[in-house]
């Protein structure tokens, strides 16, 4: 794709017509899967503006002492100053410049500041601003940050080496309707969450609607905060959810308790470690209270990083009757599907425009044993 997300000046522009950029991405996806038997593929478009509920900005310090937010162009060419951004949550975008102006008035806030991140609820009613520093922060920072929080009705988190200061909350609350139930989530600052709230809801409901109830069990690798785990676990006797990130796993446990899901066992370990545990090539104290032989996994869901599945994880999920593969990298997805389709067929495929105006597109492929 030869398109840039960020414009030449004045902020991050959305240079292509939305339908054109989505058409290019879907064409690239279909080209990557040429030769692989696929069913008719559903395409779910995003909102065209204000679709990102989290973002990261570098802070640029001007020679005259001023500061500005900047982002890197997707296709290279360095950073560009950003004072508004129609890609970001509308409340954050509308307040970007006012926030940076406020920070610039307080040395305790702007000195040695090198990154500003935000996390917002989909409706913008809750927001956390994270300020990251190349200097120690102390009560002077907290005092100035309280004024910032009062001014913009947000929470603020200051981070420097070995220190974290919090004004307000460390999480935002989000409610996601799935079928006839509302699911309540905590999105924790610093832990991964899906950036596009509208698309995330569509993905969860898409998978949920396709699954029939089973008297067997559900396995999820890379479960994060329990985004898919919570509602999908309703369809199964029991669930095993694996996540290596401690903050995300703690949030997942809180989310499960808040939604009365007591059939999920969460384990803090990598997907490869769990594959070794199931294969009995290695034992873990973290699993000593679990009867792994008592699980019979009917469905396995994987949502791996861009590198895709390692060999041990691929072998593990291949044992399930159904595999749900959520991916943001069509190259590694194609590589893994070439292996998985040796013993199973693709029964459902869908594309979700999680990242509008960027080259990436999220996909969800469901495979069943032949």
Element spanning 199, H or E: helix 197-210
90-104 and 139-152 are packed helices; what angle lies between their axes, rounded to 10 degrees? 140
Instruction: Tell me if residue 322 falls in helix, strand or coil.
Output: strand
**Lookup: tokens for 310:** 């390692």
Instruction: Tell me if residue 366 falls in helix, strand or coil.
Output: strand
Pairing relationship of beta strands 264-268 and 344-352 according to DSSP bridges: unpaired
- Rounded to an integer, what distance in angstroms lies between the CA atom of residue 27 and that of residue 143? 52
Q: Which residues are catalytic?
A: 328, 362
Q: Angle at the Cα of 210 (from 293 to 25), degrees rounded to 5?
A: 110
Closest listed residue to residue 245, CA positions, set 264, 261, 268: 268
Residues with Cβ < 8 Å from 139, sequence gap 6 or more?
Answer: none
18-32 and 330-340 are packed helices; what angle lies between their axes, rounded to 10 degrees? 30
Name 72's bridge partners.
79
> 219 with 299: CB under 8 angstroms?
yes
Q: b vs e for 151-177, b when ≥16 Cβ sit within 10 Å of the residue's Cβ?
A: ebebbbbbbbeeeebbbbbbbbebebe
Kindly report the number of other CB atoms within 10 A of residue 316's CB atom: 25
DSSP string, 143-173: HHHHHHHHHHT-EEEEEETTEEEEES-SEEE
């Amino acid at each position: 794709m030869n398109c840039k997300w960020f414009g030449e000046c004045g902020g991050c522009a959305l240079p292509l017509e939305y339908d054109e950029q989505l058409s290019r991405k879907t064409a690239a996806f279909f080209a990557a899967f040429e030769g692989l038997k696929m069913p008719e593929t559903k395409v779910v478009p995003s909102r065209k503006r204000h679709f990102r509920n989290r973002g990261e900005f570098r802070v640029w310090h001007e020679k005259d002492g001023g500061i500005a937010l900047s982002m890197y162009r997707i296709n290279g060419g360095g950073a560009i100053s950003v004072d508004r951004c129609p890609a970001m949550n509308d409340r954050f975008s509308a307040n970007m410049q006012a926030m940076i102006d406020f920070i610039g008035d307080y040395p305790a806030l702007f000195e040695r500041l090198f990154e500003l991140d935000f996390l917002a609820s989909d409706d913008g009613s809750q927001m956390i601003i994270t300020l990251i520093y190349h200097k120690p922060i102390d009560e002077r920072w907290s005092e100035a940050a309280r004024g910032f929080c009062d001014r913009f009705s947000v929470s603020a988190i200051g981070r420097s080496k070995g220190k974290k200061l919090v004004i307000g909350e460390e999480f935002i609350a989000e409610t996601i309707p799935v079928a006839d139930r509302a699911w309540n989530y905590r999105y924790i600052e610093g832990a991964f969450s899906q950036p596009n709230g509208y698309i995330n809801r569509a993905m969860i409901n898409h998978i949920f609607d396709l699954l029939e109830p089973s008297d067997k069990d559900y396995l999820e690798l890379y479960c994060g905060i329990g985004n898919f785990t919570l509602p999908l676990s309703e369809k199964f006797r029991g669930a095993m959810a694996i996540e290596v990130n401690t903050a995300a796993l703690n949030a997942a446990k809180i989310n499960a308790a808040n939604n009365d899901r007591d059939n999920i066992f969460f384990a803090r370990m990598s997907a490869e470690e769990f594959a070794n545990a199931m294969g009995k090539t290695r034992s873990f104290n973290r699993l000593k209270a679990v009867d792994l032989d008592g699980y019979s996994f009917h469905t396995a869901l994987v949502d791996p990083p861009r590198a895709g599945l390692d060999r041990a994880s691929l072998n593990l999920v291949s044992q399930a009757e159904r595999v749900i593969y959520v991916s943001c990298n069509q190259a590694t997805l194609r590589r893994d599907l070439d292996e998985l389709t040796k013993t199973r067929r693709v029964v459902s495929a869908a594309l979700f425009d999680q990242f509008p105006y960027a080259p990436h597109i999220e996909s969800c492929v469901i495979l069943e044993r032949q």
